[in-house]
Amino acid sequence: MAQDVPRPGVSLIITPMADEHSEKEPTLVEKWISDQQQWQKTAMEYFDSMVKNDEFLVGLGNAMRGSLLAGKPYPGTDPTEEQVQAAGPIDDRIDEILHALHQIQGELADLKMTVQELESRAGKDSGRGEG
């Protein structure tokens, strides 16, 4: 029995035994990383195919020239006479809607920051009560 007790200055190295189940099944993090890589691959394949599609490129070019609804050219481009006439008179309702949407977006951002601040304060207060 004296041989089972480690001697001073000698350390025992304990290694876990390999489990058949752990080698075959990836961990949750490994699965997530694999899924993310697959989504990235799928998205890149889609974008590559869209760049080769003429209809997509024409649509992208039209978007860069300006929105037909707003009648405003894309920054850095000059609309041709035909485009200006085809667009018709500029409708200010679109600008009003966009302005209202930006106001709502700002108010939602303020509300979100307020909620986060309240949550952080509630977390600090509960932390004080426990200690």
Q: Over the stretch 54-110, which tens digit does the pLDDT of each residue have?
A: 888 777 777 766 665 566 655 566 666 655 565 556 667 888 888 888 899 999 999
The model's pTM is: 0.30
Q: State yes or no: pLDDT of 46 exceeds 80.
A: yes
Q: State yes or no: pLDDT of 31 exceeds 60.
A: yes
Alpha-carbon distance of 53 to 58, in angstroms, equals 9
> Residues in the chain, how many?
131
> In the structure, what pLDDT confidence band is assigned to residue 18 with cuts at 50, 70 and 90?
low
CB neighbours of 77 closer than 8 A, spacing ≥ 6? 64, 65, 66
- How much is the average pLDDT of 8-13? 59
Amino acid 15: pLDDT: 58
